[in-house]
Amino acid sequence: MTQKVRTFFGLKLEIQNEPDGAVVAKVRQLLEKHLSAEKIDVPKGASVYVKQLKFHAEDFHFMVQGIQNRLAKLNVDAGFTPSARAAKTLRLVDLRYTLDPAVKVERKVDGIRYELTGDYIQKHDEHTEYLAIVVAPSCRDFHKKLQIKVRAQATSAFAQKLKNVKDGAVTTGLEFLLSSSQLAFNFPP
């Protein structure tokens, strides 16, 4: 999905729907708990989409072993278009199975930012995060998009190998349409 990050760092980031029934059931439970704790009202008949973010690092890349020797920091921002934020018909909820303090999570009004280090990714190969996107019934189809921005910062030693990369950082933006075929469940039941 993120070709530049994979090309320069040997880090694969996949963003996919979560069809696993057990995971969807756990997501529903976590979502109910989160919305109740935050006292957030969800319109009747809201749709919930679940996205899975998976990270996997190649052991060797550009003759450098270990992602921790190539990647200093990885920022992943998830959010919506400015017009969708203005319409206030979408909500993004971070559903973390394990609360690892090594993964910094910044929840903002307009999205979520994950910050991971190369050391963390090396130790936790196949790291996964889950996002739930709650869509109000009044949301227009052209607003139903999830935007992901990925910024990878090289270690100082690896940045010297990346001659065509300004400041040793690579940024990639992606956009995902939310369609009815991706729907996990309706909420509240």
- How many structural domains compose the chain? 1
Asked whether the beta carbons of 139 and 87 are under 8 A apart, the reply is: yes
For 3-50, the pLDDT digits (tens) are: 788 888 888 888 877 667 777 788 788 888 877 777 777 778 888 888
| Model pTM score | 0.84
Domain that holds residue 169: 3-187
The residue ranking higher by pLDDT, 99 or 177, is: 177
CA angle at 35 for the pair 96 and 15, rounded to the nearest 5°: 40
Amino acid, res. 52: Q
Percent of the chain at pLDDT exceeding 90: 10
With H, G, I as helix, E, B as strand and everything else as coil, classify residue 72. Answer: strand
SS3 labels along 107-160: EECCEEEEEEEHHHHHHCCCEEEEEEEEECCCCCHHHCEEEEEEEEEECHHHHC
Per-residue model confidence (pLDDT) at position 1: 46
Per-residue model confidence (pLDDT) at position 109: 67
List the CATH number of the domain containing 122. 2.60.40
Cα-based distances in Å from 85 to 21, 32, 72, 92, 151: 30, 22, 31, 11, 22
Give the residue-averaged pLDDT of 157-177: 82
Most confident listed range (18-27, 51-60, 114-123, 176-185): 114-123
Per-residue model confidence (pLDDT) at position 153: 93
